[in-house]
Amino acid sequence: MTGLLRVSHDGDVRVEDIAAAVKAAGYQVRLPVRTGDSDGGGTERAGSANAREGTGAAAGGAVESGADEFRNRLRLAVASGVLLALGFAARWILGPGVPASSAFLASTALGGWMVGRRAFGALRARVVNFEVLVVVAAVGAIAIGDLPEAALVVFLFAVGETLEAAGVTRTRKAISSLLELAPLTALVKGPDGLEKEIPARDVQVGDTVVVRPGERFPVDGVVRAGSSHVNQGPITGESMPVPKGPGDEVFAGTVNGTGALEMVSTRGADDTTLARIVHLVEEAQLEKARHQKLVDRFAGSYTPVVVGLAVAVAVLPPLLLGRPFEPFVYRALALLLVACPCALVLSTPVAVVAAIGNAARNGVLIKGGSALESLGRLTSVAFDKTGTLTEGRPEVSDVLPAPESGLGPEEVLRVAAAVEGRSEHPLAAAIRARAASAENGRNFESIPGRGAKARVRGRNHYVGSAALFETDLGVGLGELGDAGRRLEAQGKTVAYVGTSRRVLGLVAVSDVVRREAGPAVRDLRRAGVGRLYLLTGDNRGSAEAVTRVLGLDGFRAALLPQGKVEVVRELADAGRPGSLGMVGDGVNDSPALAAADVGVAMGVAGTDQAIEAADVALMSDDLGRLAYAIRLGRRAVGVIRQNIILAVALKAVALVLAAVGLLPLWLAVMADTGNTVLVILNGLRLLGGR
């Protein structure tokens, strides 16, 4: 899935020999540029830094080769489809003959080029997989003179493989695009106080790095000087920017707010939290790639059994009973013809292509058959909070006037908005957006770490924390203090409004639950999803409040990306044999999306990294589409199973008749063609419905 192959070996084995073995299995190899040993021996003596650099080079090569593979598959599939259409046109206009046959054969050759290479590699490795089954089906159809069927089988399989390649290419891009979140350069302050811009990869542990307002942090570290608010949602998933000052930890890839910060690097560029997210995505995709499709598992048994049965029919009666070879060879040939797995091969790709087309029409992007099958087995879903179940932006949720102030909620909000009129604090915009008027106070002054002050209607007014009023101004909060603590326990951010003598009220800001989240959760229950969880990097109060409002089954809060992956695997193991889906939209969700059986990204609101790491994207950001996608997946799995049962049952009857000599060759061909038509028509039913 990631295009990376890690091989452990000793110094006696050359890298070129390993590459030759991989090529012999039917895969292309692109060796990364070596930055350590130059002897080609591939020993581990190059050291950890070179090993990581080599891994990065391999990842970059994987993205490039993945895009090349997708383009090659697309070109071959299109060419195969055009020739297939020309073949049918020639047959309709000119009748059966050389032009039509040539077009069908050319379509089969182009569509089956990459399939044949993979099948050959599988056979060399003594594995019978789906590609081998496709080649057997195509060769069998050609052998009985049914060239259109051979071309159709190969073309439809090529289309399915192209869709899979497109999904895999996006997965590989997710890894490289994650790396782009961290800046390429860093502003390092030397012992002499001079600042110098250097490549971020050259930052050493203990270096002092200067991060200006609006810039991304190049490495992980601890703030040494300055104060600011940092948007670390890309890494932790928190919905609100976090205040940072001396002693606070910061992460690579997060965005600095309005204040300049000096930080001391605690990790190198190749060991940051962001770099670890990249490795988590790689590992999760490699683990997911080990799962086989239903038909792949079946193919491993079907083909050897059929071939063995045909050989037994042709050889055993003459050898054991002294019968002539000719009639039993004829029966064996009829058996092979009727066993030609065209219908079995088409059982999956027709259903997959039809279902994916239906989903795309309804605003859901499903990246291939594996994702579709996993959707159909979903029994548990875990949600990210910020931007998935909530709006992902702070909004005013509560306005409480002090009883003795004589003011109404709107008046308290207008005063707060006037004080915050010139503030760049992340919560100020939410307060101004909710206020009915846009009055600006005079003589605005920011109070670092506490709040803000401005002159409103001839008097100084304050907006800030409880500490600003109780400690700095010596003003008691009274009943509002208890109310504020209750709101903070729910994960809300509380700002008090007042003068130097009394508190007028409070304003609570939070990330509100999306309107469609409640109906979507209920629809998932009706679709058969029994367990729903919340996984978030935000605080416990926010997580508990959202869980309670939506009626979820549980939550885990304050999770970093590694923690989300561990919880996803824990929940997936607990929910077997069904599969687990993870729904998210942020960079910090990418490893969990990749680790889940089905990763679902919010399309428009989601980051590119989340969309590329996921198996399914909800392009309209409508959570209600998830239940539809699950129902479609269940239908698709049902249709695939029906097709396999239909194909195998009819084959079984025909095989028995062929083995006892009651099935002539012409009827074997008819049975095979009719079976194929039934499977195609059944699969196309998935094009309909919402």
C-alpha distance from residue 176 to each of 61, 96, 296, 371 (Å): 10, 51, 30, 22
Is the CB of residue 576 less than 8 Å from the CB of residue 291? no
C-alpha distance from residue 92 to each of 43, 95, 108, 127, 670 (Å): 63, 6, 19, 40, 20
- Mean pLDDT of the region 38-47: 32
- In whole numbers, what is the pLDDT of the chain averaged over residues? 78
Catalytic residue among 384, 511, 589, 622: 384
Percent with pLDDT over 90 in the chain: 16
Tens of pLDDT, residue by residue over 206-229, are: 999 999 888 888 888 999 988 888
- Mean pLDDT of the region 501-510: 92
Nearest Cα residue to 227 out of 250, 208, 204, 207: 250
At residue 152, the pLDDT reads 81
C-alpha distance from residue 311 to each of 142, 299, 304, 306, 328 (Å): 20, 19, 11, 9, 10
The Cα 91–Cα 103 span in angstroms is 10
Q: What predicted TM-score, i.e. pTM, was given to this entire model? A: 0.62
Q: Is the pLDDT of residue 72 over 70?
A: yes
Percent with pLDDT over 70 in the chain: 77
The Cα 498–Cα 277 span in angstroms is 44
Domains defined along the chain, listed by start: 1-182 (no CATH), 185-271 (2.70.150.10), 352-390+514-633 (3.40.50.1000), 391-512 (3.40.1110.10)
Rg (CA), the chain: 32
> 384 an active-site residue?
yes
Q: Is the pLDDT of residue 160 over 70?
A: no
C-alpha distance from residue 74 to each of 68, 114, 150, 158, 205 (Å): 10, 11, 19, 8, 46
Tens of pLDDT, residue by residue over 254-280, are: 888 878 899 999 888 777 766 766 665
Tens of pLDDT, residue by residue over 534-574, are: 998 887 888 888 999 899 999 998 888 888 899 999 998 88
Maximum mean pLDDT: which of 9-18, 118-127, 340-349:
9-18
Q: CA angle at residue 197 from 196 to 203, to 5 degrees?
A: 95
- The torsion angle over the Cα atoms of residues 136, 139, 143 and 147, rounded to 10 degrees, is 130
Contact partners, residue 36, CB within 8 Å, separation at least 6? 45, 46, 47, 50, 51, 54
- Cβ-in-10-Å burial (0-12, 13-18, 19+) of 279 comes to middle
- Mean pLDDT of the region 652-659: 74
At residue 174, the pLDDT reads 54
Confidence band of 496 (pLDDT split at 50, 70, 90): very high
- Cβ-in-10-Å burial (0-12, 13-18, 19+) of 681 comes to exposed
Maximum mean pLDDT: which of 81-95, 117-131, 274-288:
81-95
Confidence band of 138 (pLDDT split at 50, 70, 90): confident
